[in-house]
Amino acid sequence: MPLTLQEAFNPRANSIGFLRWLMAFLVIFSHAGPLGGFYDNRDLGAAISTEQSIGGVAVSGFFFFSGFLITKSRMGRSTIFRYFWRRALRIMPAFWLAMLVTSLILAPIAWVKTTGSIAGFWNPPSESPLTYFVNNMWLFMGQHNIAGMGASTPLGAIGGFDWNGSAWTLYYEFRAYILVGLMGLFGLLAHRFLASGIAVLIIVLNSLQWSGVPVGAQNAFLANPYNMMLLAPFAFGMLFALWGDKIRIDDRIAVFALAVSIFTYSEGGWNVLGQYCFLYVLMWVAIRATKLNNWERFGDLSYGIYIFAWPVMQFGAYFHLQDRGWFVYHLTVVVAVHILAFFSWHLIEKPAMSLKNWTPRPLEAAIDRGRPFVDSLKRRVVSKRFSSSNFAAKLRRESAVQSGAGTE
């Protein structure tokens, strides 16, 4: 029998890092349509599929791997506070850097290029560069443009005005983190049938939504189609984390799944069926392509590429980079984005992640002082027979040690 995912997946020897880089790379190519005026001013793939662009396919892959890795991480022993602290460290610092670089460096230079001086940039009647960071800093993109710029760019020519049109998905990514965090807090991840029920419900609701069923008619959350569309691949990744001991990594299944994903992408049914076949293929590649397991030896650049690519491409449009042709345009953007992503990783993201176990000294002292009382309260409230919490597991270990000592 082919190996199961649990048997085949090596956390230290897989090509997920390469695949995430590749998907970030595909987002660049896809967005070159509206930002650079290529592919009839549409995202790459829009001429083939009526459901999803190539960039959207890549985002689905991002969410799938996040669902798999984050769920496996949450099934560990970290507290809910530590879990959210680590998730915030991974997302926020680099995102904030991208917002500041855009509003304080790229946008002013583009303004001078367009108008000939900096006059009027810092105090426009609306969409101030000074509010761009504040309005977007919590991931919800409340301000898309700066000082009404962009009319002369290819994106502006089709009515779009946005300095970072990729970053909006991070809001939904963090919503998925919240879902997994709460599931771990209430013990659902310790009961995989219950956790799987939630994941399957998300996938079914998304499929119904794309089948024309008005699932969001009476619900504001479901009325936003992006909630289910982006949570569905994340939920599929959750299922891979929950059922890794049952899912087979089979070459024949992968070939069949690839054929189905290609067919549904061009003929319809991608969001209902095809994307899940594609996501299985991604996991198959992540496990089989072991020679790419050292791809991130210079750093995990995929996130930096994702959050900096759109601003760089929009910036290039002010200097008519697209007029130099498809090859020069993409080569310049790819090189520039990789440089920014490299510095983002080594100067911001990696140092931030080094703080994942850090606790401020005053808070640490307060926790130490309150621990005896909290532990005493937990011993009265938590049942070692019926609770799936870490503290209940600690109580069961203590009982096992005491029982063992009593039989000697």
CA–CA dist 116, 111 (Å, integer): 8
At residue 368, the pLDDT reads 85
Distance separating alpha carbons of residues 74 and 68, to the nearest angstrom = 10
Q: Flag whether the pTM goes above 0.75.
A: yes
The pLDDT of residue 164 = 96
φ/ψ of 137, rounded to 5, equals: -65, -20
| CA atoms within 13 Å, Cβ hemisphere of 85 | 14
Helix axes 326-344, 302-318, angle to 10 degrees: 130
Average pLDDT of the chain to the nearest whole number: 92
Between CA 176 and CA 80 the distance in angstroms is 14
Which pair of structure tokens corresponds to residue 163? 């300095």
Phi, psi of 127 (to 5 degrees): 55, 55
* Mean pLDDT to the nearest integer, 108-131: 95
Distance CA 183, CA 194 (A): 10
pLDDT in tens, 22-61: 999 999 999 999 999 999 999 999 999 999 999 999 999 9
**C-alpha distances in angstroms, 1 versus 10, 45, 71, 240, 251?**
19, 37, 26, 18, 11
CB 33 within 8 A of CB 40: yes
Strand partners, 4: 248
Instruction: Quote the tokens at residue 360.
Output: 């401020």
Q: Are 29 and 54 in contact (CB under 8 A)?
A: yes
The answer for residues whose C-beta is within 8 angstroms of residue 166's C-beta and 6 or more apart is: 27, 31, 306, 307, 309, 310
Boundaries of every domain in the chain: 5-353, 363-407
Mean pLDDT of 188-203: 94
Please tell me the predicted confidence (pLDDT) of residue 401: 82
Q: What is the pLDDT of residues 199-248, one digit of tens each?
A: 999 999 999 999 888 887 778 888 898 999 999 999 999 999 999 999 99
How far is the C-alpha of 336 from the C-alpha of 297, rounded, in Å?
Answer: 19
269: region left, alpha or beta (phi > 0 left; psi from -120 to 50 alpha): left
Indicate if the pLDDT at residue 255 is higher than 90. yes
pLDDT of residue 389: 76
- In sequence order, the β-bridge partners of residue 248 are 4
| Distances from the Cα of 211 to the Cα of 46, 51, 136, 205, 207, angstroms | 19, 12, 33, 10, 6
Inter-axis angle of helices 107-115 and 129-136, nearest 10: 150
Would you mind telling me the total number of residues written for the chain in this entry? Answer: 408
CB 192 within 8 A of CB 243: yes
Angle between helices 275-288 and 16-36 (to 10 degrees): 130
Residue 31 CA to residue 333 CA, distance in Å, equals 11
CA dist., res. 271 & res. 233, Å (int): 10
Amino acid at 184: G
- E-state strands within 70-221: none
Residue 110: which H helix or E strand, with range? helix 107-115
Whether the CB-CB separation of 189 and 75 falls below 8 Å is answered with yes
Summarised one tens digit per residue, pLDDT across range 299-346 is: 999 999 999 999 999 999 999 999 999 999 999 999 999 999 999 999
Q: Residue 406 pLDDT more than 70?
A: no
